[in-house]
Amino acid sequence: MKIRKIGMVANIEKAKIAQHAGALKRWLEEKGAEVFLSRELAGKMSEPGGLDWYELARKSHLLVVMGGDGTMLRAARLVGRYKVPIVGINMGSFGYLTEVNLNEIHDALEMILRGQFAVEKRMMLSVTIRSGKSLIKAGDVLNDVVINRGSLSRIIDLETSVDGEYMTNYKSDGLIISTPTGSTAYSLSAGGPIVFPGKDLIIVNPICPHTLTNRPVIFPPGAKLEIVLWSKEKGATVTLDGQENYQVKSGDTVIIQKSKHAVYLVLSPHRSYWEILRSKLSWSGLPSGAVKRKNA
């Protein structure tokens, strides 16, 4: 499919974002594309109009996100339900989701406009936070749900059940429940596994568990996790994708399962997932013998 209608959103706090976004908008329009701006970006660029993110997603064939992984995560949560492909333009120095670097933007978008691109479907998690019969929050995340002790000095007690069957009580600093996309985020820092992002799996990873046999567990996509907090002091904090925080108290419940929505990310035409992973984790390049075999 050729791309003709493009929505643009950005982290407006990034340096020179109005300049970069303006140049890209003009370039896209010269290529015959119709460009829509988010309301925040239009204001930053002193452009008239601007749309909210939902309307932007409904009208666009492609959503261009300029910023870092945080901006991509926000876009995923807000527009994932509309199934619009998202391409991330990395405006910083570190990102797993923003696959296209600023100096590659024209080459990459040239190919995308011709329809020469691949899209990968990424699983999201549905999270529901309840306090008794009251709903605190219901929404989706692309990376992870983190339950942690916040400013408490003591560990928290998290009773965890899977598909209605009791599994264990995690006595720890917290619990990370992530998608494969989020496996290279906080979960990786806490000793969790790297999981290929195109898979549908749920990763549960305790943070500094009191019992050393509490290790990361990977569940199938159909699993439904129910986590009850039993700490009686000041409660705990539930964080969604590192961006939204909710306070919970003893007896409150967090329910997590695969979302009915997914995110469709445009893959970089210049590098594979493994190249990005090697770069971000500073893994070594080709083994010495590989060059010799290639030149043999």
Residues tagged active-site? 69
Q: What are 41's two structure tokens?
A: 């970006």
Secondary structure element (H or E) that encloses residue 111, with its range: helix 105-113
Can you tell me whether residue 162 is helix, strand or coil? strand
Angle at 95 between CA 90 and CA 100, to 5 degrees: 40
Beta partners for residue 248, in sequence order: 236
At 97, phi and psi to the nearest 5? -90, -30
In the block, tokens 């961006």 appear at 243
Q: For residue 164, which amino acid is it?
A: G
d(CA 247, CA 238): 6
DSSP-assigned letter for residue 194: P
CA distance 219 to 201: 6
